[in-house]
Structure 1
Amino acid sequence: MHFEVPKVKLHSLREFAQHYLMIVLSILTALGLEQWIESVHHRHAAEYASARIEAELGDTLRDIQKAIDVDQEHLKPLIAVDKAIIDDVRSGKSDADINQHIRQLNDQVKLGINWPAFSTEAWDVAVANQSASWIDVERLHRFAAAYAAQRDAASWTAHNMTLALDAPRMVDLHTRIGLGKDVDPIEFLTVLQQMINTSNETVGYLEQTSLPIKAALAKQGQ
Structure 2
Amino acid sequence: MHFEVPKAKKFKEFGGEYVMIVISILTALALEQGFEAMHHRHLAHEASAKMNAELRRTIKEVDAALEHNEKKRQQLHQARDQLLAGIRAKTDDAELMQRFKKEWAEMMRLDLDTPTLHREAWEAAVANQAVTWLPREALENYAGAYGAIRDTSTYTYSGALMFLDAPRLLDIFSKAEMGTATPQEIYQLAARMVAAYDNLDNNLASLNKVLKTVVAENDSGHAGKSGS
TM range (shorter): 0.7 to 0.9
SS at match of 2:116: coil
Q: Give structure 2 stretches of 5+ with no counterpart.
A: 1-7, 224-228
1:85 is aligned to 83
CA distance in structure 2 between the aligned counterparts of 1:189 and 1:28, rounded to whole angstroms: 79
1:171 and 1:71 mapped to 2: Cα distance?
A: 20
CA contact (8 A) 2:73 2:194 kept: yes
Distance 1:77 1:158 in 2: 21
Aligned-pair CA distance for 1:158: 4.9
Secondary structure at the aligned position of 2:106 is classed as helix
Q: Deviations over 1:54-96 (max 9, x none)?
A: 1111111111111111111101111111122122222221111
Preserved contact between residue 99 and residue 182 of structure 1 (Cα < 8 Å): no
- Alignment length (residue pairs): 212
Matches within 5 A, 1:65-84: 65-84=63-82
Return the letter of the residue paired with 1:140.
L
Matched with 1:110 is 109
What's 2:48 paired with?
50
Amino acid of the structure 1 residue aligned with 2:97:
N
Say if 2:128 is the partner of 1:149: no
User: Secondary structure, in 3 states, of the residue corresponding to 2:117?
Assistant: coil
Instruction: Tell me the secondary structure at the aligned position of residue 115 of structure 1.
Output: coil
Match of 2:220 in 1: 220
- Higher gyration radius (CA): 1
What secondary structure does 1:220 align onto? helix
* More divergent stretch after superposition (67-76 vs 34-43): 67-76
Are 2:225 and 1:201 aligned? Answer: no
- Structure 2 CA distance, aligned partners of 1:215 and 1:15? 64
- Show the counterpart of 1:173: 172
- The CA deviation at 1:215 is 2.4
* Partner of residue 5, structure 1: none
Distance in 1, Cα, partners of 2:48 & 2:38: 15
Distance apart, 1:110 and its partner CA = 2.3
Offset of residue 211 of structure 1: 2.5
Is 2:114–2:157's contact at 8 Å kept on the other side of the alignment?
A: no
- Post-superposition Cα deviations, 1:91-150, rounded to whole Å, max 9, x if no partner, equal 221111111111011122221422111221111111111111011111011101111111
Does the CA-based 8 Å contact 2:55-2:211 persist in structure 1?
yes
Q: Structure 1 unaligned segments of length 5 or more: list them.
A: 1-7
**Partners in 2 of 1:158 and 1:101 — Cα distance?**
31
Alignment-mate amino acid for residue 179 of structure 2:
K
- 1:175 Cα deviation from its structure 2 partner: 3.8
Q: In the TM superposition, what is the alpha-carbon distance from 1:50 to its structure 2 partner?
A: 0.9
Identity %: 32
Amino acid in the other structure paired with 1:116: P
Give the conservation status (yes or no) of the 8 Å contact 1:42–1:134: yes
Structure 1: distance between partners of 2:195 and 2:149: 21
Secondary structure of the corresponding residue to residue 107 of structure 1: coil
